[in-house]
Amino acid sequence: MTGLAGYADHDATALADLVRRKAVSPGELLDEALARVERLNPKLNAVVHLAPDKARAAIAAGLPGGPFTGVPFLLKDLGCEAVDFPTHMGSEIFRDYRWTVDSEMYLRLKRAGLVVFGRTCSPELGIGPTTEAAVYGGPTRNPWNLNHTSGGSSGGAGAAVAARIVPAAHGSDGGGSVRIPASSCGLFGLKPTRARLPDGPLSGEGWGGMAIDGFLTRSVRDTASLLDATHGSDLGAPYWAPPVAGPYAQGIKSPPPRLKIAFSTRSPLGTPTHPECAAAVEKTARLLAGLGHKVFEGESRIDIVALMRAWAKVVACGTALSVRSRAAALKREPRQGELEGVTLGAVEYAKSVSGADYLESINTAHRIGREAARAFLAYDLWLTPTLAEPPAEIGRFKPVNTDFLDYRLGATGVLPYSPFTALANATGQPAMSVPLHWTPDDLPVGVHFTGRFGEDDVLLKLAAQLEQAAPWSERRPEVASR
């Protein structure tokens, strides 16, 4: 890398190494990231709340010596509370909301040496597989094709990383919100085991334990090192994830054992998936067999509709709580245009959910988690497409439908498009989307692996093996090549 000419070719780990060797300074990397925002964000609408002064002050004060010292980084505009970085949470009613405390996740990212300089767009309160929140003035677009969505709810993060604005970014996942953008943008995305990452101090869990933070990266080693830097419960956490055997970044240097991997190209709804998504799984199954793993077709017996009805009740209640809390702080009800249709629908639907209904939904998720755990006695990993189709066109899932159940579960709703990812949120299992396929018109199609509870290391080892066997980092969208 001469000067910053090779910025887009380096992952976060490589950029940090250049900083350590004094081949480049943190300030130069920040300048490059900001220049890329200026050039690309008008096309993508991925980055908000730029605060270069805060980033430069952190550099001037002396960055911590961590695995990513000097690397520019972006937070999702939802969660990861940070005093220096306000949020819209994808919503007009939360516009420029300021936190009074730093989250433990943000503090750990800072201790890793990352230079945070802004946030990335999210759908309103994290609802939806697309990022088209009105508060940002327009949709977030996919760098591979500007007419398609970058996914949701970490769609801004996916677009920013795929476009090489930053090598990695923070995200979160309550029903696929890291893995859907990873699939849509040709990135690696891991949803860790429930409680693997801290949620405090402002909350003990998100969406009944279904939501967790995560990262969008171009390399497996970046995700492994980010997980090493941030994993572990925070003070007062209501529950812990199983202990980690050793550093993830070290573990991926050795291949996984011979794994039993069941796969399916069919949706758990019993319907076929798009031919390109089926082809991605079949190609991956052949690759896995060639690597020595035992691969065989399986069939999901999980009642995904029952699960998603339970999930919808939990999410609707969580959304209603956020809106109610904001209304109480403002001492008024939301005004016309301050909430989008889907959010209004969620709040209205939540009124019909009793306390007993909510607890029944939690119990349904836990029951299905036990069913899934028993299924995993027969295999180590479950392989499917990440999405049932390639990335949707902008506008298809625009959040205007006020019938929340129809938006989520209807025949033209989210569930037929994304029937695979939410299961791992309900069960708490780790799951990942790996970028191993592109359509003939160059749209990314991810493949999805779910692992046993607590075995994040197995997923990361396999991902590193696949990355070596079928490298993807050299592929980049045209918008990032100019």
DSSP alpha helix (H) spans, 331-386: 341-350, 355-375
356 contact partners, CB below 8 Å, separation of at least 6: none
pLDDT at 356: 98
Under the banding of pLDDT at 50, 70 and 90, the label for residue 476 is very high
Buried b or exposed e, range 339-370, using 16+ CB within 10 angstroms: bbbbbbbbbebbeebeeeebeebbebbbebbe
CA–CA separation, 56 and 69 (whole Å): 13
Asked if 384 contacts 437 with a C-beta cutoff of 8 angstroms, the reply is no
- The percent of residues in the chain predicted with pLDDT above 70, rounded, is 99
Mean pLDDT, residues 95-104: 98
pLDDT at 5: 76
Question: What number of residues does the chain have?
Answer: 482
Q: Is residue 455 scored above 70 in pLDDT?
A: yes
Cross-strand partners of 76:
120
Dihedral class, residue 292 (left if φ above 0, else alpha if ψ from -120 to 50, else beta): left
pLDDT at 481: 75
CA nearest neighbour of 115 among 143, 74, 78, 144: 74
Q: Is residue 415 scored above 70 in pLDDT?
A: yes
pLDDT at 2: 41
pLDDT in tens, 297-319: 999 899 999 999 999 999 999 99
Under the banding of pLDDT at 50, 70 and 90, the label for residue 1 is very low
Structure tokens at 294: 């035992």
DSSP state for residue 424 in the 8-state scheme: H
Q: Is residue 52 scored above 90 in pLDDT?
A: yes
pLDDT in tens, 192-238: 999 999 999 999 999 999 999 999 999 999 999 999 999 999 999 99
pLDDT at 237: 96
pLDDT at 4: 79
CA–CA separation, 336 and 120 (whole Å): 25
CA nearest neighbour of 160 among 143, 146, 174, 178: 143
Mean pLDDT, residues 279-289: 98
Q: What end-to-end distance do the CA atoms of the chain give, in Å? A: 17
Q: Is residue 104 scored above 90 in pLDDT?
A: yes
Mean pLDDT, residues 412-418: 98
Under the banding of pLDDT at 50, 70 and 90, the label for residue 482 is low
Helix (H) or strand (E) holding 74: strand 72-76
CA distances from 9 to 105, 160, 210, 219, 406 (A): 27, 14, 34, 11, 43
Q: Is residue 449 scored above 50 in pLDDT?
A: yes
pLDDT in tens, 154-192: 999 999 999 999 999 999 999 999 999 999 999 999 999
Q: Is residue 370 scored above 50 in pLDDT?
A: yes
Catalytic positions? 76, 153, 177
pLDDT at 3: 42
CA–CA separation, 471 and 250 (whole Å): 20
pLDDT at 440: 98
CA nearest neighbour of 226 among 180, 168, 159: 168
Structure tokens at 465: 């093996």
Domains (range + CATH), the chain: 7-480 (3.90.1300.10)
Mean pLDDT, residues 340-360: 98
